[in-house]
Amino acid sequence: IKQFLCKLQLTSEIDITDQQPTICQNKEHKLEVEGKDKELQSLKSHVEKLCSFTQPEDHSVFQNKVEDCLQLYQEADQVIKRRQDVLPHLKAFLELHISASHVLHQLRQKVETTKNIDKSKSEMLKKKLSEVVQDVNKLESTAASLDVSLTKAHYHLKQGSSQQRSSSSNMADSICIELESIQSLLGSKQSETEALSAL
């Protein structure tokens, strides 16, 4: 069981660009921990038999070993259950993040390439921005609790092949910064257009 816990620690990274390997690993670990439960039940019955053949003062040694194994098993089982619980939430968060990032990228291009942003163009772009604001707010509000759940599941995020760690909060913060940057750019370009038309 100690080796199994070490294996869980070695599979603690989730690649945010591809979560499929993590989902598969967790299914395998779930089956493995179920197997460990059977081993533990077998160990308990062996210890009971041993206790019937040995001196009472030796019983506590055997029972302590069983207790240690049981504690390690429960720890492993808890980690796997937490991982099972958090993975669907992470998937939903990442899908929303990709969708919002894509919309913001398109809006930035539109704002940067549109000349003479008059009131009507500005209103149209602001409307599109307000639609994505809801998604960004949702990302921001769920990020902190998702990070806590990931930590409890002994998981941490990384981006692609780079070893750089990430977090839901970092991802939400960066998308908020991008949104504010586009809003600011739109405001500047609208002011420019208004100043030029006033001349």
Task: Give residue limits of the domains in the chain.
Answer: 1-198
Contacts of 102 (CB under 8 A, 6+ apart): none
pLDDT band at residue 127, thresholds of 50, 70 and 90? Answer: very high
Reply yes or no on whether the pLDDT at 142 is more than 90. yes
Mean pLDDT, range 121-129, rounded to an integer: 90
* Residue/partner pairs of 111-120 with CB below 8 Å, 24 or more apart: 111/182, 111/185, 111/186, 111/189, 112/185, 114/189, 116/193, 116/196, 117/186, 117/189, 117/190, 117/192, 117/193, 118/190, 118/193, 118/197, 119/190
pLDDT at residue 41 in the model: 84
User: Per-residue pLDDT tens for 89-113?
Assistant: 999 999 999 999 999 999 999 999 9
pLDDT at residue 101 in the model: 97
Query: Are residues 16 and 155 in contact, defined by beta-carbon separation less than 8 angstroms?
Result: no
pLDDT band at residue 34, thresholds of 50, 70 and 90? Answer: confident
pLDDT at residue 191 in the model: 86
User: Per-residue pLDDT tens for 148-175?
Assistant: 999 999 999 998 776 788 999 999 999 9
The CATH code of domain 1-198 reads 1.20.58
